[in-house]
């Protein structure tokens, strides 16, 4: 049976589904909840929350109803145990020999765009269908782990990952890769940075984002020795303060608990 919708309904339905890409500006509060249980996720009242892509279908509507934005996480450069794992294995892009990422995942052949891009695009399509405001695509920096890949390989990879997100109408955050962050800034909508205060002047690289009115979400971890007092706080302030960043402390890299937002310039907790 054929069924014709009046043209006005089709048009307004399409318009309703197209939303402008999210461009987060500096100054938002954030929670980074990749390892958190549902009850911890539900407690988060920060303006922006990052959750795993697999939680997005359940939690994007929840956070949107409360006026919060959602960044959906997956890894771009390594294997993961997701529903599409078999497709990754079949594509023959898993680097079986050599070192992995230290979290039980193997690196992928990021030079094989023909095979890898459709897999990443499928995840982005899922993120878009769940209503994610943005994606965080992790593990862009294979060159920091394996000498058979260059910085240029990672740059080319990260650039097409960002372009793919934009083709799918998703905002995308640059994750880490400080060595190429400045060159990649024009292609990304914001940044997510871990542990940048571990070496002097690394956090500062991301000032190019806040200078261009793009949010920079920075996290340090208690299990790596960071706390909001003493010399640890002095280091955090020195490396992050006065640059328009969002700064949070999470108890552990496992990201099972709600983080603490603090003023990057003073360490004062923002509640
Ligand atoms: C992306 O947005 C454009 C308009 O800005 C629209 O034409 C296109 O259909 C959208 N694509 C997706 C995948 O939603
Ligand atoms: C952080 O503290 C400084 C100094 O008190 C203040 O000027 C600034 O507005 C604070 N920033 C935020 C985001 O609260």
Indicate the average pLDDT of the chain: 93
Q: What is the largest CA-CA distance in the chain?
A: 73
How many structural domains is the chain composed of?
1
| Sheet arrangement for strand 134-138 | 30-32, 48-52, 69-75, 134-138, 171-175, 190-194, 216-221, 246-250, 260-262, 269-270
Helix (H) or strand (E) run with residue 118 in it: helix 113-130
Nearest to 137 by CA among 245, 50, 47: 50
d(CA 43, CA 257): 10
Residue 130 has pLDDT above 70, yes or no: yes
In a domain, 208, yes or no: yes
Phi, psi of 216 (to 5 degrees): -125, 115
Report the separation in Å between the CA atom of 14 and the middle of ligand 1, taken as the mean of its atom positions: 9
Residue 13 has pLDDT above 50, yes or no: no
β-pair partners for 50: 32, 71
Residue 130 to residues 72, 86, 151, 155, 161, Cα–Cα distance (Å): 10, 22, 33, 28, 19
The predicted structure's pLDDT at residue 80: 92
* pLDDT category of residue 152 using cuts at 50, 70 and 90: very high
Q: What is the mean pLDDT of residues 164-179?
A: 98
Q: What is the mean pLDDT of residues 205-219?
A: 98
Cβ atoms of 251 and 236 closer than 8 Å: no
Determine which residue's CA is closest to atom 12 belonging to ligand 2: 263
Residue 9 has pLDDT above 70, yes or no: no
In a domain, 34, yes or no: yes
In a domain, 39, yes or no: yes
Q: What is the CATH number of the domain that holds 249?
A: 3.20.20.70
Q: What is the span of the domain harbouring residue 232? A: 22-262
The predicted structure's pLDDT at residue 4: 45
In a domain, 4, yes or no: no
Closest ligand relative to 127 C-alpha = 1
Task: Map tokens 């899922």 to a residue.
Answer: 126
Query: What atom in ligand 1 is closest to the CA of residue 168?
Result: 13
The predicted structure's pLDDT at residue 10: 44
Determine which residue's CA is closest to atom 14 belonging to ligand 2: 263
Burial 137-163 (b: 16+ CB within 10 A, else e): bbbbbbbebbeebeeebbbebbbbbbe
User: Per residue in 41-87, pLDDT tens?
Assistant: 999 999 999 999 999 999 999 999 999 999 999 999 999 989 999 99
Residue 15 has pLDDT above 80, yes or no: no
Task: Judge if the beta carbon of residue 18 lies within 6 A of ligand 1.
Answer: yes
Task: Judge if the beta carbon of residue 266 lies within 6 A of ligand 2.
Answer: yes
DSSP label of 242? T
In a domain, 239, yes or no: yes
In a domain, 1, yes or no: no
In a domain, 3, yes or no: no
Best mutation site among 266, 267, 270, 271 for ligand 2 pocket (most ligand atoms within 8 Å of CB): 266
Task: Judge if the beta carbon of residue 121 lies within 6 A of ligand 1.
Answer: no
Burial of 265 (0-12, 13-18, 19+ CB in 10 A): middle
d(CA 84, CA 234): 44
Between 14 and 164, the higher pLDDT residue: 164
Report the separation in Å between the CA atom of 132 and the middle of ligand 1, taken as the mean of its atom positions: 15
DSSP label of 134? E
In a domain, 76, yes or no: yes
Task: Judge if the beta carbon of residue 242 lies within 6 A of ligand 2.
Answer: no
Query: What atom in ligand 2 is closest to the CA of residue 27?
Result: 13
Task: Judge if the beta carbon of residue 265 lies within 6 A of ligand 2.
Answer: yes
Determine which residue's CA is closest to atom 13 belonging to ligand 2: 263
């Amino acid at each position: 049976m054929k069924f014709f919708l009046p043209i006005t309904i089709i048009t307004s339905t399409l318009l309703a589904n197209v939303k402008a890409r999210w461009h987060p500006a500096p100054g938002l509060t954030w929670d980074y909840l990749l390892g958190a249980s549902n009850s911890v996720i539900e407690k988060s009242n920060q303006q922006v929350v990052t959750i795993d892509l697999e939680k997005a279908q359940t939690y994007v509507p929840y956070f949107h109803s409360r006026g919060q934005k959602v960044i959906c996480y997956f890894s771009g450069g390594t294997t993961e145990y997701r529903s599409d794992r078999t497709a990754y294995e079949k594509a023959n892009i898993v680097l079986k020999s050599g070192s992995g990422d230290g979290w039980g995942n193997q690196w992928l052949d990021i030079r094989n765009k023909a095979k890898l891009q459709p897999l990443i695009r499928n995840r982005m399509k899922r993120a878009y269908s769940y209503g994610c405001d943005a994606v965080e695509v992790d593990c862009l920096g294979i060159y920091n782990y394996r000498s058979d890949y260059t910085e240029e390989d990672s740059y080319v990879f990260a650039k097409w990952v960002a372009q793919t997100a934009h083709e799918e109408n998703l905002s995308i955050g640059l994750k880490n890769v400080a060595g190429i962050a400045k060159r990649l800034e024009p292609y990304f909508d914001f940044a997510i940075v871990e542990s940048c205060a571990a070496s002097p002047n690394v956090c500062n690289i991301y000032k190019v984002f806040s200078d261009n009115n793009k949010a920079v979400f920075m996290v340090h971890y208690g299990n790596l020795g960071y706390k909001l007092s003493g010399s640890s706080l002095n280091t955090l302030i020195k490396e992050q303060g006065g640059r328009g960043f969002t700064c949070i402390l999470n108890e552990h890299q496992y990201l099972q608990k709600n983080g603490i937002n603090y003023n990057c310039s003073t360490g004062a907790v923002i509640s």
